[in-house]
Amino acid sequence: MKLELNRREFLKVSTQGLAIAGLTGSALAAQILEKENPAAWITSFIVDYVAKSPGNSIRNAENDKAWAEPLVGFSRGDDPIYQQFKEEPIGPFHWTPLEIFSLTFPGISVKAEELSVISWILPHTEAIKADLRKQKTNPSEKWIRARIYGEEFNEELRKYVAETLNKSGHAAVVPILSKSFKMGNSERYGMASSWSERHAAYAAGLGTFGLCDGLITPKGKAIRCGSVVARIQVPATPRPYQNHHAYCLFYAKGICGMCTTRCPAGAVTKSGHNKAACAKQCNATAEYADKQLGLKGYGCGFCQTGVPCESQIPV
């Protein structure tokens, strides 16, 4: 779903509704939009929050933003793809939208088709990507700050989206912030978890996976993902791809593979992504961040920058 379309819909529906009712005010406009076009309503308040929240910052001297304008997509709670995730590639411990919703709201009787998964992509700013693009061994300070404080903001955004929906009468839960969220082990892929933000984004038509397992989106691979499951019916965003590797040049065309040379730990090869080696590299960046920059947290991202899919779907 293109952002420009969402904004046009927002203005169109708001103007028409207020003209009919003889009302004014952004709150009333939002109420009308919520009923007439829930996808545009949700997209508008997510985009607005990312643009205006002071939390969207890497907390450096310049107070640079962590994230540029987001992408938002939707999938249905009864989409068969969530059951497929349980069977392959993740595992039986991975929740369907209905499972995590029912776990959170045991007193609400609900069917899967009444639920929607709201997913978003937060793209790094050009300044943050350019900073890491120049590095070869240790990540840049801006990138590390974006990984630490940018993800703190992403958590803030998750809570905001769920709270906004709950206040509007649409019960909502943030799966990865659930007390029941835990890590598991995928028989095929190793480390995995109860809920995958990237897989939810894939289901919502926002991107496909690359050789390094990063999600390649229309805004590129230098991104973070977030999602909320809610009792609201929103039309699903079409998935403009046929398989989970469609946007990766290595898998789709047998070319590129530049993320293998970008990884300083050799965690990405033409055989795929070695999660254990990747985790070791992330731990090394955390040590570097602590000793050299006084920052508590890790941040790698080499495979997300300096590659054709950094800021777009590669051609």
What digits encode the pLDDT tens for the residues 217-249?
999 999 999 999 999 999 999 999 999 999 999
For residue 19, what pLDDT is reported? 39
Structural tokens at position 71: 């992408």
pTM of the model: 0.90
Query: Residue ranges per domain, the chain?
Result: 58-304
In three-state secondary structure terms, 137 is: coil
3-state secondary structure 86-127: HHCCCCCCCCCHHHHHHHHCCCCCCCHHHCEEEEEEEEECHH
* Separation of first and last alpha carbons in the chain: 20
In three-state secondary structure terms, 21 is: helix
Q: Tokens 């992504």 label which residue?
A: 273
For the stretch 69-110, pLDDT in tens is 999 999 999 999 999 999 877 889 999 999 999 999 999 999
